[in-house]
């Protein structure tokens, strides 16, 4: 399928809505950019919480949020995780999340593959979600299996202790260097095998292979691929339509044009 070049964002949006008219299935791949429209900071990229600076412990934030550090120095991992959570506290899902949830109700089959751990897709009403990196509001004790869900970290001790066995609990998220959860990977593989009519990549740099590969595979299969991101990314050169807009603004414009 040849790449579609658009002179304006409006032309691109019109083309996307035309494609959606004949669409039955959609995969949305979302990253930090969609939640940035809710005011959430990120630790990487422009305007990040840490940018390229080392933490006050003299290590990168990636190392602070690594599985190895969590195991050996859980206080360090929890310190920076709680800083990130504090900066996200009181934020809520935005129009971008809402549009995706509305599309799920409208089209025959819609799935969301998200790297975000904020839970906003769930809160906005989406049900078919593969939160591949987990959810920061779900706590688990790996020693005894205790689990809990918290609204935020304001009323828990940092690091939190399991009320059953007294060990340090952890959030159900994938830290750097850890394996992806097998159950979510299985769901992703199942849905990718079924395939989709249209693939959206929204607000992600697509640096992880499992985030980039669905778009690459879709392109090879002749399925339509769309990227919504103000910046150039790992997949910008291969998608059919590149929409250089913020996520919430673009999705709202597409949905209004469609309806």
> Would you write out the chain's pLDDT as a tens digit for each of its 259 residues?
434 444 578 899 999 999 999 999 999 999 999 999 998 865 554 345 555 677 888 888 889 999 999 999 999 999 989 988 888 888 899 999 999 999 999 999 999 999 999 999 999 999 999 999 999 999 999 999 999 999 999 989 999 999 999 999 999 999 999 999 999 999 999 999 999 999 999 999 999 999 999 999 999 999 999 999 999 999 999 999 999 999 999 999 999 999 9
Q: pTM of the full predicted structure?
A: 0.90
Task: Give residue 124's pLDDT.
Answer: 97
Inter-CA distances, 150 with 94, 119, 158, 170, 232, Å: 21, 12, 13, 12, 36
User: How many CA atoms does the CB half-sphere of 130 hold within 13 Å?
Assistant: 24
* Domains of the chain: residue spans and CATH: 9-39+93-133+180-258 (3.40.50.1220), 61-90+139-173 (3.30.1600.10)
Task: Give residue 41's pLDDT.
Answer: 65
Three-state DSSP at 225 gives strand
**Would you call 133 a catalytic residue per the annotation?**
yes
Task: Give residue 3's pLDDT.
Answer: 43
Task: Give residue 50's pLDDT.
Answer: 59
Alpha helix locations (H) across the chain?
9-21, 32-36, 61-64, 67-72, 74-88, 95-106, 120-124, 182-194, 209-221, 247-258
Collect all residues with Cβ–Cβ distance below 8 Å to 28 and sequence separation of at least 6. 100, 110, 111, 112, 113, 114, 200, 202
Q: Per the residue annotation, which of 106, 133, 137, 220 is the catalytic one?
A: 133
Beta bridge partners of 5: none
Closest among 78, 76, 118, 77 to 97, alpha carbons compared: 118
Q: Phi/psi of residue 36, each to 5°?
A: -60, -30
25-30 and 198-202 as β-strands: parallel, antiparallel, unpaired? parallel
Round to whole Å and give the CA distance between 18 and 100. Answer: 17
224-228 and 241-243 as β-strands: parallel, antiparallel, unpaired? parallel
Task: Give residue 45's pLDDT.
Answer: 44
Is 132 in contact with 188 (CB distance < 8 Å)? yes
Inter-CA distances, 177 with 17, 67, 173, Å: 39, 6, 12
Q: Give the count of beta carbons closer than 10 Å to the beta carbon of residue 124.
A: 20
Round to whole Å and give the CA distance between 94 and 110. Answer: 19
């Amino acid at each position: 399928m040849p790449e579609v070049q658009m002179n304006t964002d409006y032309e691109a949006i019109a083309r996307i809505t035309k494609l959606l008219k004949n669409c039955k299935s959609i995969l949305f791949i979302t990253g930090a950019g969609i939640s940035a429209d809710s005011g959430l900071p990120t630790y990487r990229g422009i305007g990040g919480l840490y940018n390229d600076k080392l933490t006050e412990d003299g290590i990168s934030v990636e190392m602070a949020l690594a599985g190895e550090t969590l195991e050996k120095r859980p206080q360090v991992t929890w310190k920076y995780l709680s800083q990130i959570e504090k900066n996200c506290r009181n934020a809520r899902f935005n129009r971008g999340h809402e549009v995706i949830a509305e599309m799920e109700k409208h089209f025959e089959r819609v799935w969301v593959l998200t790297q975000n751990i904020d839970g906003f897709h769930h809160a906005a009403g989406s049900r078919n979600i593969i939160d591949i990196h987990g959810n920061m509001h779900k706590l688990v004790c790996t020693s005894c299996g205790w689990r809990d869900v918290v609204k935020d970290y304001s009323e828990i001790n940092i690091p939190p202790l399991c009320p059953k066995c007294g060990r340090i609990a952890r959030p159900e998220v994938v830290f750097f260097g850890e394996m992806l959860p097998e159950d979510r990977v299985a769901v992703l593989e199942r849905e990718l095998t079924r395939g989709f009519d249209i693939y959206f990549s929204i607000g992600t740099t697509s640096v992880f292979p499992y985030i980039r590969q669905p778009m690459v595979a879709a392109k090879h299969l002749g399925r339509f691929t769309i990227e919504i991101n103000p910046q150039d990314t790992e997949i910008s050169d291969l998608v059919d339509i590149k929409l250089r807009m913020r996520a919430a603004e673009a999705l709202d414009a597409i949905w209004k044009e469609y309806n």
